[in-house]
Amino acid sequence: MAKKEDETITYSNMYNEATNKSQLKHEIISSVYNHKYIISAVHEGRAYDISEEPKVNKIPAIIFGSGASLDKSLPYLKDWKGGTFCTTSHAESLIRFGVEPTYIIDLDPICPWSDISDIDWSKTKTKLVLHPGVYPDLVEHWPNKMLLYLENSGDPMAFYSTIQPIMYTERIHPELATRDQPLKRLIVTNFSIFACSPPLQMFVAHLLGYDPIFTCGVDFAYTFDKERFTNWKVKKEYLTVAGIDPRKEQYTENEWENMWYPIEHPLPALNENDIIITSNGLKAERMHIYYKKNFISAWRLLGETVYSTDFGAVTEIPFIPIEKVIKQQGLGFPKIGMKRINRIADLYLAKQHCFVLESDEGLSFVESENPLEEAEKFMKENNSKYVCTVCKKNMLLTDKDTYINHENEDCPVCKSKGSLKRVVHFDVSNNMKRIRSLLKETKQ
């Protein structure tokens, strides 16, 4: 029997473990193989940390998901003058409809060059945004500029936080040949990763100054009786044509073929027990709900207005028809304040047993069936982490679960006066007050 969205809880640990098992090994291997291509491109000036990319001043942008409602939007996009942030899955389909992507963003480590190889990208201004663990032949063949970032998995001991940054570090004076010579990290920007690509597109667009942001095809459900949007590829017999100019549409309509077709039955091979009914009555899989939870979490972290042009499961953000977005070029739409965004996102996440904890260092996300106990314990334990400003030693001071504040006390290691500082500080009272209010609302 199908379950309702509110009854479907998707805990991240299970998905994260599966992702690490299937993907991390590929990201490690690719980080090795990509080293020569990326370092060479850095020295050429063709690759650089994304923070070095010139910023725009509040130009509207569109980000893309792979839902079937994207089919409805694609024909309108040729008249869009703002930024377009897509993945390798969308890039050629955008070209098919006369749109040159501003940025192609690569997160998935198994996205090969063949995904976008039909197009001569050297004839475009499109830039590729990538981390070092993406598929090597994509990096090897990409002709244009590359913007680099690192993934932040939230684990300070993960490969992304330890080994990979060192791999992409250079000796400033290699001729010195000493162990203590100065080093320079080539990639310093990192993005928190939220399972699917729309959050990353959203973060990149925001970092580069694009505002507001609109979603296309971010459905997280089965819409229009399809699994996903209709992806377009150039027919093989026409691939000898070189130098496509997407603005001139050198490939005519009959020279393209679609690679995904409408499903012949309402859902793929799923039994009724695998089906989730979203809050607005759409059919979805459990993975869709997990992706939606990640998108809402990312929206909460961003704290900016995001608009939807989709007919999918994300009803929490404002909907504007794509026709109107194009007509107004993304301008003139009302904003949502951060307090309103926080409230909408927090309430949805609480239904998923996910709770946002605010600290002076940013946000933490805690998943728990018993947040009144576990969230409070999490915050108190983190408030008990200290660093000495003199000897730089990190330490945990819990005082047998009494959690006394030791900030500005003497360091127990080096004895320096007043040198202890908290690593992070959570206002436990305010956070718990908000959690209790959310739990009360979800029960109602």
Cβ(175)–Cβ(43) below 8 Å: no
Task: Report the pLDDT value the prediction gives residue 26, as an integer from 0 to 100.
Answer: 95
Angle at 158 between CA 156 and CA 163, to 5 degrees: 105
Task: Report the pLDDT value the prediction gives residue 2, as an integer from 0 to 100.
Answer: 79
Q: How far apart are CA 316 and CA 329, in angstroms?
A: 22
Q: Which residues pair with 185 in a beta bridge?
A: 169
Low-confidence spans in the chain with pLDDT less than 70: 238-254, 259-273, 400-401
Q: How far apart are CA 327 and CA 305, in angstroms?
A: 19
DSSP state string for 316-371: SS-B--HHHHHHTTT-SPPP--HHHHHHHHHHHHHHTTEEEEEETTEEEEEE-S-H
Which secondary structure element, helix H or strand E, spans residue 13, and what is its range?
helix 12-19
Q: How far apart are CA 103 and CA 86, in angstroms?
A: 7
Q: How far apart are CA 66 and CA 180, in angstroms?
A: 48
Q: How far apart are CA 98 and CA 83, in angstroms?
A: 14
3-state secondary structure of 50: helix
pTM for the whole structure: 0.90
Q: How far apart are CA 425 and CA 358, in angstroms?
A: 9
The CA-atom distances, in angstroms, between 237 and each of 202, 214, 233, 251, 257 are 37, 36, 11, 12, 11
- Per domain, the residue ranges of the chain are 3-350, 353-443
List CB contacts of 333: < 8 A, sequence separation 6 or more.
212, 307, 318, 320
Task: Report the pLDDT value the prediction gives residue 251, as an integer from 0 to 100.
Answer: 53
Q: How far apart are CA 381 and CA 428, in angstroms?
A: 11
Task: Report the pLDDT value the prediction gives residue 243, as an integer from 0 to 100.
Answer: 47
